[in-house]
Amino acid sequence: MAVALDWQSLGEIDYDRALQLQLARVEALLAGVDERQTVFALEHPRTITIGRNGTRDHILLPAEVLERQGFVVREVDRGGDVTYHGPGQLVLYPILHLAPWENDVAKFVRNLEEFVIRALANVGITGTRVGDLPGVWVGDDKICAVGARVKRRPSGEFVSYHGIALNVNTQLADFGAIIPCGIQDRGVTSVAKVLGQAQSMPFWEQALCDAFCDVFDCAPTHSGMSHADV
């Protein structure tokens, strides 16, 4: 039987508020007071995040320049190094308890990559994995970042948060502020760049939802959030 999934479209929302929403759902799952499987779909304003394996040395611009250009910088508890978020990038945060997927964290991360690969394939883009580098790649360029974190319920079941960031219409020049994921010999790309034209963000949200539900065997219900909620 397909897993019921609450797919919430949040629009553009700042990173701190999105993290608050994630952690509230994580705590509800850890406490067992709300079993809903949830995905938050959203965009962020210009934000640089530094993962647990990251370093500020991979941010290339001085703090005053970043501030002047509208970037915020946050240290976060996901895996990985330095990542950029910004307008035109579609971010998904799956807040899931993993028993329906064999409670297998490694498989969960592979499935995050797999559903993006399938969504890209539907428009003729060949996304691949590259060795032990996380994310989805088109040739030598990363098109989608993947960074997950889990916490454990008393039962031993894992609960996931953080997720994926697909460059759809992303201003790729903004990546010049960082060494993405600490990788210096590879680039970044976007769906718009590969296909040669700007993309519909609603189309890509639906495409990712369809592929996610295919890979994870989910039945989604869709909702948004009012300005009072966010």
Q: Which residues are catalytic?
A: 181
- Would the annotation count 93 as a binding residue? no
- Would the annotation count 145 as a binding residue? yes
The single residue listed with the structure tokens 């498989």 is 107
- Would the annotation count 85 as a binding residue? yes
Q: What is the rounded distance in angstroms from the CA atom of residue 115 to the CA atom of residue 214?
A: 8
β-strand partners of 12: 43
Tokens standing for 177? 């502020």
- Would the annotation count 17 as a binding residue? no
- Would the annotation count 196 as a binding residue? no
- Would the annotation count 221 as a binding residue? no
Q: What is the rounded distance in angstroms from the CA atom of residue 115 to the CA atom of residue 138?
A: 15
Inter-CA distances, 203 with 7, 52, 60, 67, 102, Å: 15, 33, 33, 32, 31
- Would the annotation count 76 as a binding residue? no
Residue ranges for the known binding site for substrate are 78-85, 145-147, 163-165
Residue ranges for the known binding site are 78-85, 145-147, 163-165
